[in-house]
Chains A and B, each alone.
Chain A
Amino acid sequence: MFDGVKAMTKGLGVTFKALFEPRDTISYPEKRREYSPRFRGKHMLAKDADGHELCVGCGLCEAVCPAHAIRVVAAAAPEGKPVSWTNRYSVDYEVDLIRCIFCGMCEEACPTNAVRLTPFNELAASNRLDMIADKEELLHPPVKK
């Protein structure tokens, strides 16, 4: 019996000690963790200072993507409406966030620095289709980079 009391005291001792130690968990979503600047979350398509899309639809991200998660359809930029900084832009740009492995190679391959992986990582949906981010969604990211 003495052995049992000793063991319980030891065990509770650990518990009570931990009560007064600093916490490892945070109360998400009220508090959020700070990530490393290299963190790779959801994609975004960037614009330049004049509001022109940087993406020219070259498809290099599509080529380099090991998970085949990206689809790019390019076209000649519409005249009169300055969408792109050059004569070509992407009409369609889709990232399948279920397939994506967040390796960041698209970001690395992008010759115009249009594709960026933001720190945003709250990826959840009740529907598979909602997990495919289209161009509109990527142009208006919740967190910019």
Chain B
Amino acid sequence: MIRLTIDGQEITVPEGTMIVDAAAKLGVDVPIYCYHQALGPLGACRMCLVEVEKMPKLATACTTAVSEGMVVRSKGPAVDKGRRGVLEFLLINHPLDCPVCDKGGECYLQDYTFEYGPGGGRFQEPKIQKVKDGPINEFVLVDQERCVLCQRCVRFMGEYVGEGQLLLEGRGVETVVTTVDQVPATSQFTGNVIDLCPVGALLSAPYHHKGRPWNIEREESVCPHCPVGCTSKVTAREGHVIRMEGRPIPDREWGWLCDRGRFGYDFGYHPERLLASRVQGNETSAALATRQVGEWLKTTVEQHGGSSVGVIVGGMHTTEEAYQLKRFATEVIGTEKLAISRSEAGYLPRALNGTFEDIKKADTVLLLGTDPYDAVPVVHLKLRERLLRYPALKVIGIGPTALTRDTLPGQDVITAPEQSAVVMALAMATQRPDDAQVKTLIHDLGSFRPQGVLPEMLTQLGAQLLRADHLVCLWDGLEPAMGMVLAVLADLREKPTPMLPTFGPGNWRGWERGGFSAHFEDLTRILEEARDGVIKTLLVFGADLLEEYPDRSLVQAAFERLDHVVVEGLRPPVDSTQVDALLPGAGWAEVYGTYINMEARLQVAMASVQPPGQARPVKTYLNTWAHILGRPLNWEEDWDPFDDDSGDLLPIETRHVEIEPLTTPPTTDAGMTLVIGSLIWEKGEPSEILLPRVPEFPGRINPQEAEELGLGTEPGRISVSQGDTHLVVGVSLDSRIPVGVLWIPQGVLGVNRLGKGPVQLSLAKEEVTA
């Protein structure tokens, strides 16, 4: 630890701390443009000049590390003169067009010029003209005249994200920030440069000219699209959400968002948004529709009993809403048939759940079927940061496709589809063949050898799994048996083995906290009972089962058999012909609530705007129905999902995982196998802003396979057949997909008409494409 004095106050900080961070701890504000804690020191902007005793000249506080007995002065005539000079230089070619600049009012160049800058410039010559409002991509605009060349954006994209799509071009006063070869940036993380830019050079295109800091309201929120639950701020103006920003949390989050989350906020204003209630396809008033559904519920409960009603929650509902639904279901209707709309069959017990803190300590990361860049992008950034801090980080991908990538290099164990759990179990067996649980796991496997995985690879993998000091597992939840394997792995290892479930929906942990079952089997059971006529009325809150449930035919059959299907949500489901009542719901940013993310962390999202049209919160519907059923609910006791002892993390429950022998996977012949993956762009509510970036060819196929199909080297449309089902899907070529595998993300319209397993491919005919 090092002691130093800043502005007369003494402070002790760890060695290697920069003066600017030490000053921040004391609450001394040192102006900065280029320095960012996540990116490290650079010293490009020269704004942070301070006076250090015994140094002949002013020193930059962001590149000068503290030393014992240092005396720093952040104020005084010398410092003021230095900063005034720097600002005069920075403003020489600045257009001073604050009135038309979106950053006006929240701009560090404005703030520091007011505080430290000169009253006017002495430079008489005409200012250099550069590109104004040029595109970085669909979402980010660049105004090169306003840039102070701090390089935060360039370093973020190049060093932090690892996708160097921005660069500084030119020399001296002609230097500009631009994209490589003037090609629009395609990274998932480009939006972060808007937050990083200290001046008005990089601006959000959807927010362009939309608001000013004094006519907007900012509320703290949580991104609802995926289970990462990034902390964010929602900007609303006149009852409209117009922007999403990252919300850094000291010592925990940098406030990064992916483009899907940052720009996908407009789903509430989508033309498909349900604004009026519909009963049997006809628009009606909210009161009539709610009463009609209440009558149906009453008749069902009277005629068939409470357990003939099923409740399924999904979408973007909050933990509190799930709890209200649970109370309504148990206390008013008297049913225990509650389930969460899930797309993946796996379940991870809370006891195994780790946090993002574990990624910061990890020495080995195991990607089980999940590619974080595609499924949970901000986790990819967290892994990138760990890799930058700890270059020896081992990344191991286990799944039917390659899961590591250039920005997160590692070793891939490519298994046949549906065989990852078996491979993991066999790998553990190479190290601990005598362990009782491992023995149970591999009991039925006999002499089964996984395809394409050599015995040496299994031994090596097993050794890595057991030897790692801090092993973080990210699991896509597609193979339910993996849950058992992970429980055994955690038992085998004495060292920490945190797991992070990357499967959705975003708030499944929250609904579980609210009292719903997150087990996929319970969802399937409800749908089967509906198909078999045991359940007569199904209340679906927020979920689009036809799109989300992996087996569409079961949902279709259930909907056809049910007496009443009631769907509440932001937009109608993909096919609402079987839906008896459609009720518009209030969603994210319209209701206050708690979201629980993949770390099992509780985070509060505030309401920013009023729900549009007839959309209303869940509680409003439940109250009406409770009155009709004659059992009004008493909401006086306020329920809080937070636990007194565990704070913002869910309490850790000890949960026994039953270990059963793994079944031997069927040996697939050399045909084509469909693998359902996870892609953030295909998930959640549709957004108009995102349309240009939603991939046109979401499927992926090996280039060799494409060649054989006759696709050539360009992405194209293919027809996928399985039995009598045919589906046309756009595929792009990706060498990370092995031969014999067709990868399609969950959520691509109609993919759940097909089941996992063998499929036949052919080139799509032209008329289908058109």
Contacts and interface: CB of A to CB of B under 8 A. Distances in A.
A63 B214 contact: yes
Given A59-B214, A59-B215, A87-B132, A75 B99 contact: no
Interface in A86-102: 86-88
Nearest to A111: B99
Interface of A: 56-60, 62-63, 71-72, 74-76, 86-88, 111-112
Contact of A62 (B104, B208, B212): B212
B133 interface: yes
Given A86-B100, A88-B100, A111-B99, A59 B212 contact: yes
A56 B100 contact: yes
25 contacts: A56-B100, A58-B100, A58-B104, A58-B212, A59-B214, A59-B215, A60-B99, A62-B212, A63-B105, A63-B212, A63-B214, A63-B215, A71-B215, A72-B215, A74-B209, A74-B210, A76-B208, A86-B97, A86-B100, A87-B100, A88-B100, A88-B209, A111-B98, A111-B99, A112-B99
Contacts of A62: 212, 214-215
Contact of B99 (A58, A71, A76): A58
Interface in B193-215: 208-210, 212, 214-215
Contacts of B99: 56, 58, 60, 111-112
A22 to B, nearest CB: 49
Chain B CB count within 10 A is highest, among A59, A71, A86, for A59
Given A59-B214, A88-B100, 18 more contacts: A56-B100, A58-B98, A58-B99, A58-B100, A58-B212, A62-B212, A62-B215, A63-B105, A63-B212, A63-B214, A63-B215, A72-B215, A75-B209, A76-B209, A87-B132, A88-B209, A111-B98, A111-B99
Nearest to A76: B209
A57 B98 CA distance: 11
Contacts of B98: 58, 111
Interface of B: 97-100, 104-105, 132-133, 208-210, 212, 214-215
A59 B209 CA distance: 10
Contacts of A71: 215
Nearest to A70: B215
Given A86-B100, A111-B99, A57 B214 contact: no
A86 B209 CA distance: 13
A72 B215 CA distance: 9
A90 to B, nearest CB: 10
Nearest to B237: A73
Nearest to A91: B209
Nearest to A88: B100
Contacts of B104: 58
Nearest to B132: A87
Contact of B209 (A57, A63, A112): A57
A60 B98 CA distance: 10
A72 B238 CA distance: 11
B125 to A, nearest CB: 22
A113 to B, nearest CB: 11
A56 B212 CA distance: 13
Contacts of A59: 212, 214-215
A71 B212 CA distance: 11
Contacts of B212: 58-59, 62-63
A80 to B, nearest CB: 16
A50 B17 CA distance: 58
B241 to A, nearest CB: 16
Contacts of B210: 74
B135 to A, nearest CB: 13
Return the 4 tightest CB-CB contacts between A and B, nearest first. Answer: A58-B99, A59-B212, A63-B214, A88-B100
Contacts of B133: 87
A63 B106 CA distance: 13
